[in-house]
Structure 1
Amino acid sequence: MTVTFPLIGEPLALDLLNTEAAVGDLVADPAGLTAWLSAQAGRLTPVDVVGEGEVAAVQALRAAARPALDAVRRGERPPAGSLTALNEALAAAPSHRVLAWTEEGGIAADAHRPADPARRLAAELAEAVAELLTDPRVGQVRGCEAHDCVLLFLPAHPRRRWCVASVCGNRARVARYYARHKGDAQA
C-alpha cells in the first residue's frame, strides 16, 4: 500500500500535525513514517531505518504539539504537559554546529545531534514546533473549511479557505452547486 499525504509543504510542524488526517494516522507504522520522512526530504536529518521507536517518538511529539498550537492560536497559555513534552524532546538531543568544507568549494555549518534516531527525530520536530509556536504568524494558522477535513495550513493569501483547493475546494464548490440545483430539480 502506498501512503499519500494530502498536504505537504507547509511549515514542518503543520506537516507533522497533518499526518493525523480525517482518514486516520498516516504515520501509524514504520512504513507510513518512512513515507512521510521521504516526502520531507531535505527538511530533516535522514533516518536510515525507521522502527517502532521512531513511530512512538513522532506520535508522542505530535500529541504534545497539537494542544500547544491550538492554545497559542487562540492567544492562550499552552497546557503545561505539552510544553514539558516538547522541552524534554528538545533536551534529549541537543544540537551543535559542525563546520565542513563542501564539494562545491564552500563551508557549511550543519546541525549535528549526537543521539539515537528516535530522539534526534523527535528533537528536530520539536524544534520545528517551537519555531511555529513562536512565529508571529501562528495566529494565522487555519483549519481547512471542508466539513470532512482536519488539516491545518498557514495561508499565503488571506482568502485561502481550504488545505488543497483542487481537492477540498472543488468538493465544496460541487456540493454548493448540487445544493443550489437540487431545489430546481424538485420544482
Structure 2
Amino acid sequence: MLALDFVSTLRAGRGGLTDSLADPDALTAWARSRAELDLDPGFTATSEQWRQVVDLRLAVRALFARAVAPGPPSSADAARLPPFGQALDTVNAAALAVPTAPQLVWDDDAATLVRVPVGPSTATLSARLAQAALEFLAGPEVAELRACPAPRCVLYFVKEHPRQEWCSTGCGNRARAARHYRAHRGE
C-alpha cells in the first residue's frame, strides 16, 4: 500500500529515527523505486519538491494519528503533527494540485478510459502520494489501521488478523522482552 509505504519512510532504528526521505536525492531514489507512482524514469526531486513531500508526510501522519484514535499516535512525530484541520487541508490541496483528464487507450479491440495528469510535473509526486493517502483513509482497511505500540517503534500498520498487536515479529519480540524485563527488574 503506497500510503503506508509513504508514512513508513520515517522509521526507528537502533541509533534513533531514520528518514528514507532525508534529502532530495533520497526522495528521488525512493520515488523511482515505486512503480505505482508511474513517474518519468528520469525523475529527479528538487529541493522544493522534497520539502513539499516531507510536509505532506507529516500531514498524512497526522491523519493516520486521527484514524487510530482513541489509541495513541506513532511516537515518531506526535509532538510535531499539525492540527487535524490543517493536515486535512494540506493533503486535500496536494491531491488537487494535479488535475487529470480522460484519455482513451485502445488495446486490440477493447477501449479503456484512463485518467492522466495534466498539471505541472513538479506537483505530480505530491498529488499521487496525497491521493493514495486519501484513498486509503476513505477505504475499508482504515478500520484496521494501528500505531505499533512496541518500544521505540514509530510505524503504522494494518492489522491483518485478530491477535496481531505489532507491526512485525521483531517489534513483538522487543515488546515481550521489555515487559519481561520490567516484571523481573525488581527481584
Bucket of the pairwise TM-score, normalised by the shorter protein:
0.7 to 0.9
For residue 106 of structure 2, what is the amino acid of its counterpart? Answer: W
User: Is the contact between residue 91 and residue 123 of structure 1 (CA under 8 Å) also seen in structure 2?
Assistant: yes
Q: CA deviation at 1:116?
A: 2.7
- 1:96 CA drift (Å): 2.5
Is 1:111 aligned to 2:128, yes or no? no
Asked if residue 29 in structure 1 is aligned to residue 8 in structure 2, the reply is no
Hey, what does 1:169 align to over in structure 2? 172
The aligned counterpart of 2:101 is 96
Q: Is the 8 A contact 2:67 2:145 kept in 1?
A: no
Q: Give the conservation status (yes or no) of the 8 Å contact 1:144–1:163.
A: yes
- Please, which of 58, 64, 82 is the counterpart of residue 63 of structure 1? 58
Once superposed, what is the RMSD of the aligned Cα atoms? 2.9
Look up the equivalent residue of 1:135 and give its one-letter code. G
* Counterpart for residue 8 of structure 1: none
Aligned residues: 169
Deviation (angstroms), 1:89? 1.2
TM-score by length of 2: 0.74
More strand by share: 2
Amino acid aligned to 2:37:
L
Write the letter of the residue equivalent to 2:3: A
Matches of 1:83 and 1:99, distance apart in 2: 32
- Counterpart in the other structure of 1:141: 145
143, 150, 153: which one aligns with 2:154:
150
* SS of residue in 1 equivalent to 2:119: coil
Contact 1:100–1:108 (Cα < 8 Å) also in 2: yes
- Give me the whole-angstrom Cα distance separating, in 2, the residues matched to 1:115 and 1:108: 22
Per-residue CA shift, 1:116-135, capped at 9, x if unaligned? Answer: 33311111111111112212
- 1:46 maps to which residue? 39
Consecutive unaligned residues in structure 1, runs of 5 or more: 1-10
- Structure-1-length-normalised TM-score: 0.74
Contact 1:114 1:120 in 2 (8 A): no
Partner of residue 17, structure 1: 7
The alpha carbon displacement at 1:94 in A equals 1.5
How many percent of aligned residue pairs carry the same amino acid?
35
Q: Distance in 1 between matches of 2:109 and 2:47?
A: 39
